[in-house]
Structure 1
Amino acid sequence: MININAVIQNVPTEEKEPIQMKRIIWIIPDSEFVFAVTLKGEGMFPFIASMDEIEIGIATGTILLIKDPYARVINDKDISPQLKEARDKKWEIVQFLWHDNKELVLNRKTRKSIIREAATKFYLPKYEIDRIIKRFWQRGMNKNALLADYINCGKKVEKNYSGKKLGRSRKYSEPRAGINIDENIKRIFRQVIDNHYRPMKKPNLSATYKYMLEKHFSDHYKDQNGEIRAKIWSKDRLPSDNQFRYWHKKEFDFKKDYIGHYGENAFNLHYRELLGNSMAETLGPGSIYQIDATVADVYLVNPINPLKVIGRPVVYIVIDVFSRMVTGLYVGLEGPSWLGAMMVLDNVVEPKAQFCLEHGFEIAEEEWPCKYLPERLVADRGELEGYNADRLESNLNINMDNTPPYRGDLKAIVERHFKTVNDRIKYTSPGAVQREYRTRSDEDPRLKAEYTLDDFIKFMIIDVMWHNKHINPTYTLSRGMLADGILPKPIDMWNWGVKNRKGRFNVYSRDFVRLTLLPIVKANITRAGIKISDRYYSFDKAISEGWFTTGKNKRTDFSYDPRDVNRIYLPHETGEGFDVANLLEKSNAYKDLTWEEARFIHDSVSEDIDNAKRDDLQNDIDRDMATQKINTEAKKRMQKAKKSQPQLSKNQRIKGIGENRNEEKERIRENEKFILGDSEQKEGQILPFKSMDTELEDTSETESLGMNKANNQLLDKLTKHRDQIFGKDEE
């Protein structure tokens, strides 16, 4: 179908046939003919063409419908007043000829007379009127088609650098001193900017300019000490600092410079293009939750003794991207960690009416109806990365998305909410941190602290309830929301999405969610119990199934709460339910502690034992040396005895062990007997038997030796006689 203002072009069938572009300027009513003009040249007036021929040519491919080569979108604000005035005057002529006298100007017989009339009316020569109306037809038949082609004015001229110095003279130098900036100098500028200026953490063009002179515009030589020195060239061979700055500004690339100075992450965070929409991938409530933690800008005090400051709390928040509804909240003193993330995810599935009631607020369930897990969870690369986070995907069917480092903008909704919360804290809460770095005159916010942790939790609950009912003017409502008259309030958008988008929730019991969130520890099954570190646990099922009597150690996974060392949990193999193992009495030293405290005690004891190893080794060595001394003395005594007495056979040596034993026993009895009575009573003197060693050493006193032998024989006879009287058997 042919329309007015369409541009057509013929397809040459012969080698020398010219290519012509034509514009359809008018379709004759109730006719098969049109008026057209040729777009090239100024001497052509409209001519009549057959519409059927044009349509057949388009159908057969000999004529093409092409894009208008003169189509331009021009903003009136960009047109100077002089050009706009000239255009409007020409437009009055076109109005007279085309809109008021169209048939006359198209008819060849009446065209000259109407153009002459226009020349008379507007005080212009006839050729000028011809030029204006032809330009109107050729350039698109609109008002801006009459603008002069100043856009084509001027021509890029290649500068001739071979002659004298271009530009103004330097104020304090010889006339025309310096050099022209040709392509070779520009190449040096670009190289220095890329390799030296952009990598600088603190941009400094002056230092870069001096570096360039030293590297590219100086002679290098060695001084008397062999050190390399640089002597810059004379002034008439150097580019000036102003020239260097001019070309840097002329070819300035903000993105490259910023990335070079501060890194791509910083650029993406602060200056990247914001062309997307967080809503693009959401299908309804529960499609995507964003989670993050921050240290609140307020100091808290101890609830028992308010004079004790306990520091700043950590706030975890989970937000639904579709509705901006806060779906989870946790405030505590645990640093950003898996424990904090575990607590806020537990709050996500907790009925919020129950949560608020625990902190003194009574609300209806529909005021905060969020108690479901999402389809997808967006977090940063921190606590929600690794084995614990993988269990969210495998057990709770949550797709985890961890953002790259330093890209908080990829979860901008929750980040912006934290800023709003901290702004409110600064103006409403005692002990608020007004700025990150205090000056001398600033009062210490820790001295103004009054909130306890429970006070601040109440503050956050009130803030969340306000946020969920607050109108967010920046939110882009969908067509369905607009049709239903929904205001951009999180609670209204949540309810609308649940009703119309059906929600994208994962529903699990709270115990199941908690069991999944708890971290896992490997435990050894031993005869002494379920061993974790140096603590022991047990439960009835393990005893009844004979876990501790198999005589073979094995390892089993248990879940545990890092805040409670008293019990661990064994999930059932079916995935439904769990068993609780309690701390045994022999491990009561760790009772009621946290896992961190228990680990600290275990590590402290292990460290003390390790530090005492040197003393223990020394004790072992002292014992071994004393034993060795005894062994050496005994060996020497035996060797002396063998030398001093006749050689005895083995049978002779072991014969009479009982008699020998009785002799030694009597001697020991005599030495060990108790003498009771008056301490002043004169005690009988006991003459100890001399040992074999003494006898051997005192070989010179033969008479004493003889007497001792005689005494020994007499004592043996007395002992035998006593045993016969008392009826004692030989031992």
Structure 2
Amino acid sequence: MKLAENMLFKYSSGKVIRVLYINQITSIVYVIDMDSNKWPYPMEKETFLTLHKNKEIIAMDEDVYSRVVLEEELSEIEKLKRDYSWDVVMYFKNTLADEEHMYISKYRQKGMKETMATFGISYNGLKNYIIRYFKGGRTKSSLIPSFYRCGAKGKERKVGEKKRGRPRLNNTNGGVNIDDRMKKIFRVGLNRYYYNERKNSLKTAYELTLRDYFATESIQENGVKIPILPNTENLPTYNQFLYWFKRMNNSKKEIISRSGTRVYQQNFRSIIGDSTQDAGIGPGTLLQIDSTVFDIYLVSSFNRDIIVGRPILFLVVDVYSRVILGFNISFESLNSYTGAMVALANSMTSKKGLCRKFGIDITDEEFPYCVPQRILADRGELVGRQIENAIENLGIIIQQTPPYHADYKAIIESAFNLLNLKVKPFADGVVVIGNKKGKERGEQDYRLKATLTIEEFTKIIIKCILFHNTQHVLNDYVLDETMLEEKVEKIPIKIWEHGLKHKKGQFRILPDEVIKTYLFPSDYATVTARGVSYRKLLYASDYALQNGWFQKARIHGSWRVKICYNPSDLSAIYIFNENGKGLRKFDLLDHLSMYTNKGLDEIEQLKKHEQEMDNKNKEKELQEKLKLYSEIENIVKEAREKTESERDYSKSKSQRIKGIKENQKNERLLQREKAREELAMKEIVDEFTDEVDEFALFRVISDGNWEESDDGQ
């Protein structure tokens, strides 16, 4: 078994421990009891592995102690308390010379004393922060206060006729109960009068909202219409307006809408990390991520006659070992948020299931994964509050390269070049570069030679990555003394394995659910009677069937649920649990299996192609429908003329209507007689036709025999 930080183990007695730190040099493992408030304690690695081998402790597959909460679902007080405790813990951590000192009492006490003096907190208060940090996997979200266990968080009180809240003093206006209609009015008023370039004050926005939505009548003064407000006890107060503004307000939206995007980017966005640190500590310390437009044209997997353009390839490379940890292939725009997040999620989770979809069996040793300390990216895909929050909640620091400095990421640029060199000699539709004179006469456009689909191209890239990780020799890699002594081969996976044994880097893992929650793009799907609908695809799961989701949707109507998804494979989506803990996987329904293993881009291309075909068929249908209308009108016109010519105008309306059933009976008998006559006539004609054919055949044969008889004489 390969031991990694953050893994959970359970004793037969029920006690659960988490692995916090592994010193590969001294073979000491530091663990913490998840059911107590005690400090971590050390264990011999050999002893730990023996316990596991004897099944006295077993590894837990699910991390039930990690809490997953989206940033926008946190209240301001939760964010403040989390950020404060995070600052305290980070200060304590930085007072120590080495991370391992956090787990050793004599070093830890010194750092705690300095932290307590700086922040003015008690010993137990600081201890609680640090213990929560350890138990929660050393992520920022582990320090979110557990308010969800108290009271009725997130549940608004029922609105009745009686005013909620404490009675006001001096008969001042206490406002009105705020229901959904009132909140909608507040939101519209803010959008109309506060979130704009006029920079109205919040009080002005409140007053204009009262004018627009609460004035019951008006009077005319000097030709001007003056709105009249009702009594103050029937109006919401400014404090109520302010309260709901704080609950609904988005600081970024406020700054951008009132001052512009440039001001936000210059003065208010987060500035994190730098690009000057190296990865000398060990594997998993620093990753590089980048994207490129690959030099090949692909065809659609639904219709190979359709050329769909060049794919975007994202790679994530470990700087220390040069191992490629993750990738993503799609038709997303270059430096897109979605492509980068999926590639990062791929680098932090096992790829065995992904590779199996393409018929390739691998081990985690061939294609490893980990949660890094730092990520180095350019100023493209990893810029933005959403990305910063996602990465920061995983305990990762983002480092940005300066503009126009691709040389800062030479390692990953080299990896792109190596993949291109392996694919281009054999694939069709590769980009031809360097012919300044253009195509020669008669030369075929290289785009027309495209034959690979995105699935086939992905399979090639996986095989190239596996070759790079396990076989490629790094000629320019400089081995250190320890590597030279142990005769480490200059192969990425060999360097990676050596680093895990001898370096002090943080080899961290986190539950897949945590990584998907923070890195996969999120959206809303709709629960319907036919399944969970997202982008016109339908999904279901055993959980939904057991809880009667689809019956409820049919009886009470559909509702929306928040999801996250992998844009490169919509075979499944992940729905957030109602309690905010974890995700539930929903799979594509069987009758939509044609979309299995297909990405968002391909599905959109297929639907676009289907829409174009439908539009063409509708044009043809319209033309044929007009023809049908003309033919119907012509038949009706002829029938009308014949009927007019045979109508007896001496009959009254009642005489014409009288005896309809008898007339219908006579018509039925007449039609039957007509059908019998037509059948008899057909039999006579068929018999006559047969006679004619027989005589004709006889004459042909007779003529032939007669000629032969003449020749014989």
**Higher Cα Rg, which structure:** 1
Task: Report TM bin, short chain.
Answer: 0.3 to 0.5
- Kindly indicate whether structure 1 or structure 2 has the higher relative contact order, using CA contacts under 8 Å at least 6 residues apart: 2
